[in-house]
Structure 1
Amino acid sequence: MIHRQRLIDRFISYITIDTESDPNSNTTPSTKKQWDLANKLVEELKAIGMTDVSIDENAYIMATLPSNVNHDVPVIGFISHFDTSPDFTGANINPQIVENYQGQDLVLNAQQDIVLSPDYFEDLLLYKGQTLITTDGTTLLGADDKAGITEIMSAMEYLIQHPEIKHGTIKVGFTPDEEIGRGAHKFDVEKFGAEWAYTMDGSQIGELEYENFNAAGAIVKVNGKIVHPGYAKGKMVNSMYHATEFINALPKQEVPEHTEGYEGFFHLYDIKGSVEVTTLEYIIRDHDLSKFEARKALMQNVVDDLNKKYGKSIFEIEIKDQYFNMKEKVEPVMHIVDIAEEAMKQLSITPLIKAIRGGTDGSQLSYMGLPCPNIFAGGHNFHGRYEYVPVESMIKATEVICKIAELTAKKNKF
């Protein structure tokens, strides 16, 4: 059995270290404070008995658990990231532990009237009778993805302490800056040396994912002309009004708040405006590659049409691809998904195989030559004050890692 209190203590020791990443930084890791946890993880990997423990100049951590069988077994890996999202503060996290949750509202912060309620977050009702770790309502929790790190570290410790569980060589990787889309950018796949890997970065217990969005970012710049408003007739060009015309030209229902499943979207996530210039920042997402390309083309066409209407110097657009659907790289090696699915079934976990409405390090790693499906880490409501994780889900995820290692060593053919 996984040691429950040790797992809880380990998780809390990680989340109470602030590791928020910074998209405006040019360094790797993007914030110096990520080194605080990175260095702790290196020492802990050594302490539990892992070999070949290393950390490079960019804070990428790797370690090895040697095989304990005398037959050839594919080298597999498990990967998580230690940064937290810049969407919400991760400083001074004060976790709260709720034993034997019974479906009630949870007052996270009475002073600020912040309540975690199953009336709004229905997934809470999945965890009646379990132990939840929540925030105090003023920070995120950091289960994304310190739950994943906790599970990988706990699984490696358990396998080392229980040599009767047979496994091949296992690689562990911990990365910075995943939350700002750079987690795999400097990951040395060749050094890692695994045939395939799993990111422990999903949410609800049972999640198993090998599809994700195709993703791009777009910046639309709208140029205006400022003159004295009292003498502006026929001269002023108000960029903010023109920007709204661009916004309204895109399909109004194809936004995150109106889409689910395999439905793609345009997401306007930032706007800065004045009469002289307005900048719109979008992300573009779709699982289907042809629809993804059509979305990018639509944005370009809207810009072209508006420039024909108002003059070619009014609208500018820059579109950059960010990552692609890992399905293309995983489907040829579907046995790696089958093993994870079988591991869950043997542990009485119902596999929830679905597409990620987002991206993970695994999507980029898959295109770098390391096929990498994603497995649940247990947390919910990531990137905000309502984030929580059931302890039992973390224990189950730890058991899944151990079971995948065991099943991989038993397979005869891949």
Structure 2
Amino acid sequence: MIHKQHIIKRFISYVTIDTESDPESDTTPSTEKQWNLANKLVEELKSIGMSDVTIDENAYVMATLPSNIDKEVPVIGFVSHFDTSPDFTGAHVKPQIIENYNGEDIVLNEKENTILSPSYFEDLLQYKGQTLITTDGTTLLGADDKAGICEIVSAMEYLLQHPEIKHGKIRICFTPDEEIGRGAHKFDVAKFGADWAYTMDGSQIGELEYENFNAAKAVVSIQGKIVHPGYAKGKMINSLYIATDFINSLPRLETPEHTEGREGFFHLTDINGEVDKTVLEYIIRDHDKEKFEARKEIFQKLAKELNDQLEKELIEVKITDQYSNMREKIEPVMHIVDIAEEAIKQAGITPIIKPIRGGTDGSQLSYMGLPCPNIFAGGHNFHGRYEYVPVESMQKAIEVIVNIAKLQAEKF
């Protein structure tokens, strides 16, 4: 398989390019700097020998690994995104290489006393003796999802260098703006031309996912009335107090910090308020469609109940669906999950099949006609200063991609 140092060099060349996306922008990509990595990837794909390398006006990069077998088999694809989350800065990333990790605390930044500790991040202990790539404690790393890109490019390079490995036609695509929910919005499924695909965008080694949350955004607008506080009796309506009532009326344990597995939640993401008006922003999540719809209904019923108590229409709720659980689209073609599971086992890894507690480009792509389960890319603690990725996990992800390519040729 591809040498560890080659993978490290490639990965670092990606993460040191700032590609943070911007949810406030209405362009695609949402930030001009995403073009820097997109254009680099075009040149790199050409240099390793990929065919049909294209980049469109929205920075979607596509390429082909031609079939090297005589028979017709389904076209498979691999997809990753090159933007990084706006939750934490991705500018001036300075990766640190921890070789032969000893299982102890890792000082990311001595000056700021930022420590990556297995006493808090227990997953670290399963990588004892391996090579870790971490941040310097001041930025995120960008393994989400530049690890996935590195793995796809490296796997394609390996297959090109080893023509004795038989495979059908493989398509790859790298997308902008996944972190702000738009990664699939301008994805040309017809141009991509795959029968199905896999996003290389999961976390720890072994993960294989074909379920994700149903998702909605709720905006709760509360109208108050401001008058001079010295003369406010019977006149002032403090929207902040009403907002507090709304917040406290929702189930207190149905929040992200109290839920796991397939349990859904309400998550208050933003409050912008003063006496005269307060706006609450929530995200609503659940794997089960009926429970998801019930959660949305709770918001409407709560607004009505509080309005009735106030005897005024002061609370307005607007709910916008964001994405749906891709399980509905994957179950009719479960053989694509079976292939991925077998490929993971062939790499000597125990598959971890579990629902995604979030969203993925694969969900939107599945509803666009491209069934698209999600496979591990190897990173941990995404979107923050404690992000890291074991290089050995990236090596295994590359092996899984190669195994899927071989299985594609063998099974059809």
TM-score interval, smaller chain: over 0.9
Q: Give how far 1:309 is off.
A: 1.4
**1:193-217 alpha-carbon deviations (Å, 9 max, x no partner):** 0000000000000000000000000
| Map of 2:194 onto structure 1 | 194
Aligned partner letter, 2:185: H
| Map of 1:96 onto structure 2 | 96
Structure 2 unaligned spans of 5+: none
| Map of 1:403 onto structure 2 | 403
C-alpha separation between the residues in 1 aligned to 2:372 and 2:48?
25
| Map of 1:383 onto structure 2 | 383
SS in 1 for 2:316: strand
Aligned pair count reads 412
TM-score by length of 2: 0.99
| Map of 1:124 onto structure 2 | 124
Q: Give how far 1:21 is off.
A: 0.3
Q: Give how far 1:347 is off.
A: 1.1
Aligned: 1:165 with 2:165: yes
C-alpha separation between the residues in 1 aligned to 2:244 and 2:311?
17
| Map of 1:260 onto structure 2 | 260
C-alpha separation between the residues in 2 aligned to 1:86 and 1:367?
26
Q: Give how far 1:103 is off.
A: 0.8
Q: Give how far 1:25 is off.
A: 0.4
Aligned: 1:247 with 2:247: yes
| Map of 2:275 onto structure 1 | 275
Aligned partner letter, 1:104: E
| Map of 2:31 onto structure 1 | 31
Aligned: 1:313 with 2:313: yes
C-alpha separation between the residues in 1 aligned to 2:311 and 2:81?
46
TM-score by length of 1: 0.99
Larger mean CA deviation between 311-320 and 155-164 belongs to 311-320
C-alpha separation between the residues in 2 aligned to 1:131 and 1:311?
63
What are the equivalent positions in structure 2 for 1:6-405 lying under 5 Å apart?
A: 6-405=6-405
SS in 1 for 2:23: coil
Aligned partner letter, 1:201: D
C-alpha separation between the residues in 2 aligned to 1:307 and 1:63?
55
Q: Give how far 1:311 is off.
A: 3.6
C-alpha separation between the residues in 2 aligned to 1:254 and 1:381?
22
Q: Give how far 1:3 is off.
A: 2.0
Q: Do 1:2 and 1:399's aligned partners in 2 also have CA atoms closer than 8 Å?
A: no
C-alpha separation between the residues in 2 aligned to 1:394 and 1:307?
54
C-alpha separation between the residues in 1 aligned to 2:35 and 2:279?
34
Q: Give how far 1:235 is off.
A: 0.7
Aligned partner letter, 1:83: D
Q: Give how far 1:133 is off.
A: 0.3
C-alpha separation between the residues in 2 aligned to 1:101 and 1:169?
39
C-alpha separation between the residues in 2 aligned to 1:39 and 1:227?
56
| Map of 1:5 onto structure 2 | 5
Q: Give how far 1:102 is off.
A: 1.4
**1:124-182 alpha-carbon deviations (Å, 9 max, x no partner):** 00100000000000000000000000000000000001000100000000000000000
Q: Give how far 1:304 is off.
A: 1.0
Larger mean CA deviation between 403-412 and 309-318 belongs to 309-318
C-alpha separation between the residues in 2 aligned to 1:347 and 1:23?
38
Structure 1 unaligned spans of 5+: none
Aligned partner letter, 1:144: D
C-alpha separation between the residues in 2 aligned to 1:357 and 1:72?
37
C-alpha separation between the residues in 2 aligned to 1:346 and 1:387?
28
**1:14-36 alpha-carbon deviations (Å, 9 max, x no partner):** 00000000000000000000001
SS in 1 for 2:325: coil
SS in 2 for 1:396: helix
User: Aligned-pair RMSD on alpha carbons?
Assistant: 0.6
C-alpha separation between the residues in 2 aligned to 1:252 and 1:48?
53
C-alpha separation between the residues in 1 aligned to 2:402 and 2:3?
14
Q: Give how far 1:323 is off.
A: 0.4
Q: Do 1:99 and 1:131's aligned partners in 2 also have CA atoms closer than 8 Å?
A: yes
Q: Do 1:94 and 1:136's aligned partners in 2 also have CA atoms closer than 8 Å?
A: yes
Aligned partner letter, 1:195: D
C-alpha separation between the residues in 2 aligned to 1:123 and 1:402?
26
SS in 1 for 2:163: coil
SS in 1 for 2:93: coil
Q: Do 1:330 and 1:366's aligned partners in 2 also have CA atoms closer than 8 Å?
A: yes
Q: Give how far 1:258 is off.
A: 0.2
C-alpha separation between the residues in 1 aligned to 2:300 and 2:164?
59
Q: Do 1:256 and 1:265's aligned partners in 2 also have CA atoms closer than 8 Å?
A: yes
After TM superposition, which residue ranges in structure 1, 4 or more long, deviate above 4 angstroms? none
Q: Give how far 1:4 is off.
A: 1.4
C-alpha separation between the residues in 1 aligned to 2:97 and 2:53?
32
Q: Do 1:103 and 1:128's aligned partners in 2 also have CA atoms closer than 8 Å?
A: yes
Query: Percent identity over the alignment?
Result: 76
